[in-house]
Amino acid sequence: MSLLPLIAALAALSSASPEAARTPAPAPAAKPADAVAFSRLVVPDGEGPAIEAGVWSPPGVAGRLPLVVISHGNGGDFRSHEDTAQALAAAGFVVAALTHTGDNWRDQSRATDVAGRPRQLSVLIDYMLADWDGRAVIDPERVGAFGFSAGGFTVLTAAGGEADLSRIEGHCRAHPGFYDCRLIAARPVGPESPRWTHDARIKALVVAAPALGFAFTPGRLDAVAQPVQLWQAAGDEVLPAPWYVEPVRQALPTAPEFHRVEGAGHFDFLRPCTPQLAAAAPEVCAPTPGFDRAAFHLRFNEEVVRFLKAKL
């Protein structure tokens, strides 16, 4: 799988209309999207470019609701996990997802700025709690995070993790064909120790197919004391076993709630594609043989909602 076709596929996935990408719920239940409100935001980020974000929330809300922030994978945007955001909002959460500056389908100039991602996530939390028009409905003591792939690395770091980036060189020398290693070869990660951003407001996290898992050596996740729901695609061809999910699972100080999805591929954690989108973005949307992504997402979203309801 080459990098440019994959980014083009993610562009097609991200630029499709939100309506076209919704996952239908089984009849006679209403679609999650029917029970949520949506707004698109521009979040100031100091002297840097503003951050694009989307917010889903139950309409006509009152009281204090938990907040969940979402970090997408390499080359995605705030809509990459729209069906999961809708399901969470329909269940009573305020959900905010950002488009990572410099790591999205429009712009890959900072695709390997792994320290910038958790900082941007923290900026989003700041905005939602202090500046968002609906902030009065958010309970600041109940903030959760969801992340997929590079977003999984992002939320683990924001929650307290400190990856050992010196391990990248040896890992990529041994596995130069892996997706992350080809990305890093094109845009090298600096050798200096990064200044990681941690956010103690995050009280629970859901992590799916985390990137750079091999860099979380023993001790590097000791500060992640929050409850974690960890997901692995058994047939992940982009971040294959045993270099990504397994080191994270072993390094977490408390055993996570772990789900291994038999038959799933890496991109099965992204929202299901319509037939039109599948034709435009085969790298991301091509069905994994023998696996029903739409059916999986009904269960996946239920499990994410259940876990975050219990932990926030």
Encode pLDDT of 231-257 as tens digits.
Answer: 999 999 999 999 999 999 999 999 999
Helix (H) or strand (E) segment spanning residue 180: helix 179-186
> Cα separation of 212 and 239, whole Å?
9
pTM of the shown model: 0.91
- pLDDT of 11 > 70? The answer is no
Looking at the predicted structure, is the pLDDT value of residue 17 above 50? no
DSSP 33-67: GGG-EEEEEEEEETTEEEEEEEEEE-TT--S-EEE
Q: Both tokens of residue 112? A: 């390997």
- Looking at 149-158, 181-190, 205-214, which range is the least confident one? 181-190
Q: Which domains does the chain have, with CATH numbers?
A: 3-17+27-311 (3.40.50.1820)
- Other CB atoms within a 10 A radius of the CB of residue 253 amount to 12
Cβ within 8 Å of residue 259, ≥6 positions away: 229, 230, 231, 232, 303
- Closest alpha carbon to 20 in 222, 224, 259, 279: 279
